[in-house]
Amino acid sequence: MNTPALETERLILRKFTADDLGALYKIYSDADVNRFLPWFPLQSIEEAGAFFEERYAKEYARPCGYRYAVCLKDDNVPIGYVNVGTDSSHDLGYGLRREFWHKGITSEAGRAVLEQVKKDGMPYLTATHDVNNPRSGNVMRALGMRYRYSYEELWQPKNFFVTFRMYQINLDGHDDRVYREYWNRYENHFVENL
């Protein structure tokens, strides 16, 4: 199943559609929202269309995926997103328009998606955040994720070094499992005393 619709107390989580390009542009064009994300802010509605096709429509064509538009129930207009990769990292990613920060929306949406992927049999989720973005780590901890290690990466396409903290939650009872791909891939890795 690909991105099954979900509801929470305040939110509808659903697929983005081509009708959402204006809302998608608002999310992905804000420099503050996208500061810690691996792409540059969108500059036009045309770029939003291309971004939608590449990052969403293409993924929705696959048999399985989790690429959610986060919408308030009162208007069903996207204000953010929660995505989970289907590769071996099962990476959780999220973003939210600035005016909706600090209201628990990302954690609420994240919990719903976490429950869905657990129900679907995903064994674990990982998530990483730039050490300069500790609020993202707060979301990870609110979802029950545990810090595992840190690593330094030359971040593309922005082309500068970033130290990331990697968090993980095991959903299948194997509590000692640690996803080691980033540890093995990047020479500068370490465990912080947080």
Q: What is the pLDDT of residues 80-133, one digit of tens each?
A: 999 999 999 999 999 999 999 999 999 999 999 999 999 999 999 999 999 999
pLDDT of residue 34: 84
Say whether the peptide bond before residue 123 is cis (omega within 30 degrees of 0): no
Q: Which residues contact 78 (CB under 8 A, 6 or more apart)?
A: 16, 20, 23, 24, 27, 69, 70, 71
pLDDT of residue 54: 94
Between 21 and 1, the higher pLDDT residue = 21
pLDDT of residue 155: 86
Over residues 23-52, the mean pLDDT reads: 92
Global model pTM greater than 0.75: yes
- How high does pLDDT run on average in the chain? 96
Q: What is the CATH number of domain 6-190?
A: 3.40.630.30
Q: Are 70 and 13 in contact (CB under 8 A)?
A: yes
Over residues 70-89, the mean pLDDT reads: 97
Q: How confident is the model at residue 138 (pLDDT cuts 50, 70, 90)?
A: very high
Q: Write out the two tokens for 75.
A: 């208007």
Q: Are 168 and 178 in contact (CB under 8 A)?
A: yes
Burial class (CB in 10 A: 0-12, 13-18, 19+), 150: buried
127: how many CB neighbours lie within 10 A of its CB?
24
Q: Are 38 and 144 in contact (CB under 8 A)?
A: no
pLDDT at 33 over 90: no
Provide the percentage of residues in the chain whose pLDDT is more than 70: 100
pLDDT of residue 68: 99
With CA atoms as reference, report the closest residue to 193 among 161, 163, 150, 153: 150
